[in-house]
A and B are shown apart, each in its own frame.
Chain A
Amino acid sequence: AQKVTQAQTEISVVEKEDVTLDCVYETRDTTYYLFWYKQPPSGELVFLIRRNSFDEQNEISGRYSWNFQKSTSSFNFTITASQVVDSAVYFCALLTTDSWGKLQFGAGTQVVVTP
Chain B
Amino acid sequence: GAGVSQSPRYKVAKRGQDVALRCDPISGHVSLFWYQQALGQGPEFLTYFQNEAQLDKSGLPSDRFFAERPEGSVSTLKIQRTQQEDSAVYLCASSTRTGQGLDEQYFGPGTRLTVT
A residues in contact (CB < 8 Å) with B? 4, 33, 35, 37, 42-47, 50, 52, 91, 93, 95, 97, 99-108
Interface size class, chain B: 20 to 34
B3 contact set on A, CB distance < 8 A: 44
- Contact status A105-B42, CB under 8 Å: yes
- Give a binary string over B12-26; 1 marks a CB under 8 Å from any A CB, 0 the rest: 000000000000000
- Contact status B33-A101, CB under 8 Å: yes
CA distance A29 to B109 in the complex (A): 31
- Contact status B95-A101, CB under 8 Å: yes
CA distance A52 to B110 in the complex (A): 27
| Interface-central residue, A43, A101, A105, A107, by most chain B CB under 10 Å | A101
A99 contact set on B, CB distance < 8 A: 101
CA distance A37 to B43 in the complex (A): 11
B114 within 8 A of A: no
CA distance A46 to B3 in the complex (A): 11
- Select which of B42, B95, B104, B107 is within 8 A of A106 by beta carbon: B42
- Contact status B109-A103, CB under 8 Å: no
B91 within 8 A of A: yes
- Select which of B42, B59, B110 is within 8 A of A43 by beta carbon: B110
CA distance A44 to B105 in the complex (A): 12
Known: A33-B102, A45-B43, A107-B41. A102 touches B56 (CB 8 A): yes
Closest chain A residue to B108 by CB distance? A44
- Contact status A47-B101, CB under 8 Å: no
CA distance A52 to B33 in the complex (A): 21
B69 within 8 A of A: no
